[in-house]
Amino acid sequence: MENKAHIVVVSIPVFSHQASIQSLCKRLLQLNPHLHITLIVPILNSLSNASKSLIDSLSSYNIHSILLPPISFPQASNIHPSLQLPRAMSQSIPSIRDALISLYNSNNKLVALIADYLAYETLELAKSLNILSYIYFPTSAMVLSLCLHSSWLHQTVSCEYRELQEPIKIPGCIPIHGRDLPTALQDRSSEVYEHFLRRSKGLYLANGILVNSFKELEEETITALQEQSKKNKFPSIYPIGPIVQAGWVNNDNNNHANHYNDSDCLRWLDKQEPKSVLYVSFGSGGTLSQNQMNELALGLELSGQKFLWVVREPNDLPSVNYFNGSSKHDNILRFLPNGFVDRVKGAGWVVPCWAPQVEILRHKATGGFLTHCGWNSTLENVVHGLPMIVWPLFSEQRTNAAMLSDGLKVAERVKFNENGIVEREEIAIAIKRVLIGDEQTKIRAAMEVLKNASADAMKEDGSSAMVLSQLAMEWRNIGG
């Protein structure tokens, strides 16, 4: 261990981010085993079963993990959901500082810190120890560009962005309507907006930003970012994606009924025709209202197409499960319309709360993906080349949806009515377009190009692999 350059990686207490950054750690060691990696994991309230499973898997990769003391807020506290994470990370800074100093003093040749974008406050800690500091940006280069240009936007636009009549033009990015900017930018008077600006400004402290994308996916955006880096206006930009999971077994402690377990849904897929099934999932943290769940169920039925749907208990707050990445399994079927399960029997399969997504996406029977546009799910789908129906819920998902549908033209985007609901007829039309319509041929061909490009980027001599290998070699040389 003493001969290996030591890298510290700081995660955040959100399952999807933990999954992504741990995949990065494994990828680093795969490309350069002459590194020693320690992962620091802040905890909000308690560690979820899904997070425990991820952390347990690290030991086989010789990745050491440090679990910090949990941070909790009083149940009666009035903290906005979007601010819970920033507050938790701020409160975790003293514990992160203690862990960093301990590692630094242990003569393990600590040379660099990599922090999740939402753990940007740790960059100052790295500077104080005179070690290199990097941000791992787990979403798209377009969203990264938006963050780096946010101060400029704030100064040049005086009204709410959603009120702008013309799309916003950011160098290297597709023009985007103000309503499609991240949720944090939708109310300029809010504390959430102020924190977004502060967090984006914090990116400039980094020596470099590792963005989970690849040149062939966002070539113009990445090129524009790197040109600004050469002029010393931005930190160095390293496109290292797609960093995705290879798939794993669900270790959730909640019991599933036998006919809903993971292997059963895959066996059901085994019986279906190639490319005939629509996979429907809103990620590890997304939820729908009861009204919207009803419309989705009836839209799936109306389409007449086969589907595999990961269903969660409804909630009016779409990000209610964002932190723990799970919800109750108990009798999920009671939230579905009366008679729905019987009517779609044989044509549809309902899975409570969690499904082996990677295995489903790679299955020959899966022909399309209805997704919330979280970047993890987006990249997992790009790797497997399926046409998409994009249904953004919160955070940067509308921005991702705009890029996929308007920019890359690999997705059909659903339309919300004046009450913010996607109606059953709209859902059925979108499903048919992606699975059986003329449009699906174009989308499938475009997705096949991206699928091949993503595979090429991750090959040993591919664009992303070479960037990450070179960076790892620089750290190794510093560590001596």
Structure confidence at residue 249 (pLDDT): 39
What is the rounded end-to-end Cα distance, in angstroms, of the chain? Answer: 12
Closest CA to 286 of 312, 309, 260, 251: 312
Same domain, yes or no, for 347 and 321? yes
Same domain flag for 205 and 302 = no
Distance CA 321, CA 68 (A): 21
- Check: CB of residue 278 under 8 Å from CB of residue 431: yes
CA gap 228, 239 in Å, rounded: 14
pLDDT in tens, 130-169: 999 999 999 999 999 999 999 999 999 999 999 999 999 9
Q: Is the pLDDT assigned to residue 280 strictly greater than 70? A: yes
279: in domain: yes
Residue 263 three-state SS: helix
pLDDT at 210 over 70: yes
Of these residues, 17, 36, 363, 372, which one is catalytic?
A: 17
**17 belongs to the catalytic site:** yes
Give the confidence band of 331 by pLDDT, cuts at 50, 70, 90. confident
C-alpha pair distances (Å), 267 with each of 122, 282, 348, 365:
45, 22, 13, 11
Spatial strand order of the sheet with 110-116 comes to 64-67, 35-41, 5-10, 110-116, 132-137, 208-211, 236-239
Q: What is the rounded average pLDDT for all residues in the chain?
A: 92
Domain that holds residue 277: 258-454
Q: What is the mean pLDDT of residues 409-432?
A: 97
Domain presence at residue 251: no
pLDDT band at 263 (very low <50, low <70, confident <90, very high): confident
Are residues 11 and 132 in contact, defined by beta-carbon separation less than 8 angstroms? Answer: no
Please report whether residue 426 resides in a domain. yes
> Does one domain contain both 211 and 273?
no
CA–CA separation, 238 vs 226, rounded Å? 8
Catalytic residue, candidates 6, 116, 363, 372: 116
Q: Which two tokens stand for residue 215?
A: 């040149």
Name the more confident of 325 and 38: 38
Asked if 127 and 214 sit in the same domain, the reply is yes
Which run of H or E residues covers position 417? Answer: none
In a domain, 400, yes or no: yes
Assess whether 442 and 463 both reside in one domain.
no
If asked whether residues 376 and 342 sit together in one domain, one would say yes
Residue 422's pLDDT is what?
98
Instruction: Tell me, yes or no, whether 102 and 204 share the same domain.
Output: yes
Cα 184 → chain centroid = 16
Task: Say if residues 117 and 199 touch (Cβ distance below 8 Å).
Answer: yes
Choose among 133, 123, 119, 155: nearest CA to 12: 119
Sign of the CA dihedral with 81 first, then 86, 87, and 92 last: positive
CATH number, domain of 218, equals: 3.40.50.2000
For residue 241, being part of any structural domain is answered with yes
Q: Is 252 among the domain residues?
A: no
DSSP strand pairing (236-239 vs 208-211)? parallel
Dist. CA 65–CA 480, nearest whole Å: 23
Whether 180 is catalytic is: no
Residues 156 and 182 in one domain: yes
SS3 116: strand
Indicate whether 88 belongs to any domain.
yes
pLDDT of residue 90: 95
Which range has the worst mean pLDDT, 50-54, 90-94, 388-392?
Answer: 50-54
State what percent of residues in the chain have pLDDT above 90: 83
In a domain, 250, yes or no: no
Query: What does the pLDDT look like over 337-391, one tens digit per residue?
Result: 999 999 999 999 999 988 999 999 999 999 999 999 999 999 999 999 999 999 9
Beta strand spans in 132-184 (E): 132-137
Q: Are 387 and 440 in contact (CB under 8 A)?
A: yes
**Mean pLDDT to the nearest integer, 306-312:** 97
- Supply the pTM of this predicted model: 0.94
In this prediction, residue 229 has a pLDDT band, given cuts at 50, 70 and 90, of very high
Q: Are residues 80 and 68 in the same domain?
A: yes
Domain count, the chain: 2
Do both 467 and 436 map to the same domain?
no
pLDDT one-digit tens code per residue, 245-256: 876 434 343 333
Question: With 80 as the cut, is the pLDDT of residue 74 above it?
Answer: no
469 in the same domain as 437 = no
What's the pLDDT at 439? 83
Same domain (yes/no): 117, 216: yes
pLDDT confidence of residue 59: 86
